[in-house]
Amino acid sequence: MVVRHIADAGVGSRPPSRDPEYGIDIYWLPLGAGGWFVRLNGRIYEAILALREHRRRLELYHSALEVRLPEGRFVIENAWPIPDADGISRGVVVEGPVGTSLLGRLRTFRYEVRRWRDGRIPDVALAVASPQHVSDDPYQARRLLDLVSSVPPMKWGRDERRTGDMWNSNSVVSWLLTRSGLAAEHIQPPEGGRAPGWRAGFELARRDAAANLIAVA
């Protein structure tokens, strides 16, 4: 598996109180916003799945996070394909393969997870019902930042751990939220939409947390 973890600093201790100016926000972007190819494939995928599950078609969403703390603002997002080799400028801390480990040897078939200080979310102007404020706890926000470099680099588009959902950008977001102490299973995309991969993230986060408890018992 092609993986690269880039070292980063710790996040400090728990502050004494909450502040509504700080915390964690989610942005919901229509899948393929700004790109017709991804949008078309997403619609085909959703049409097939809706037919198989005997339900109506829903809008598909990709999620990204913004974390705001006294020391700065950070964007956490999963992106594929990787645009260039200068990942440091985008705060890249993890890379993983798309589809297969073999293809993941090529940059075109790797994704990157960013923890980008003062970064930007592409096509944020197209975000729906956003930002969705999910925490004003600076401790949770700092914990989430610290966890980004520990995101499991699972194969994008696969269900390697049999969670019932494929791993993708939404999985990364729900994994981080769950490991930070938030109930990601209760966080929903905009009405009439769904976020493929969301379940994979929080299910895997629960398993990881349980395994850690067993290990230290």
13 pLDDT above the threshold of 50: no
Q: What is the pLDDT of residue 104?
A: 83
Low-confidence winner among 7-16, 33-42, 60-69 (lowest mean pLDDT)? 7-16
Confidence of residue 55 (pLDDT cuts 50, 70, 90): confident
Among 205, 172, 174, 200, smallest CA distance to 189 is for 174
Give me the amino acid identity at 34: G
- Which of the four pLDDT bands, split at 50, 70 and 90, describes residue 7? very low
Quickly list H helices, the chain.
36-53, 138-147, 169-179, 198-216
Instruction: Give the pLDDT band (50/70/90) at residue 64.
Output: very high
131-153 mean pLDDT: 96
Report field, pTM of the whole predicted structure over 0.95: no
Average confidence (pLDDT) over 146-158: 95
Q: How are the residues of the chain apportioned to helix, strand and coil, as percentages rounded to the nearest 5? A: 35, 25, 40
Where residue 15 falls among pLDDT bands split at 50, 70, 90?
Answer: very low
Per-residue model confidence (pLDDT) at position 9: 36
Q: Reduced to 3 states, what is the DSSP secondary structure of residue 124? A: helix
Q: For residue 4, what are the contacts with CB-CB under 8 A and spacing of at least 6?
A: 94, 95
DSSP strands (E only) in 46-157: 59-69, 72-79, 92-97, 110-117, 132-135
Contact 178, 140 (CB under 8 A): no
What share of the chain has pLDDT > 90, as a percent?
63
Q: Flag whether pLDDT at 39 surpasses 70.
A: no
Condensed to tens digits (0 to 9), the pLDDT of residues 203-216 reads 999 998 888 777 76
pLDDT value for 18 = 61
Q: What is the mean pLDDT of the chain?
A: 86
CB 103: neighbour CB atoms within 10 A? 14
Q: Is the pLDDT of residue 17 over 80?
A: no
CB 68 within 8 A of CB 21: yes
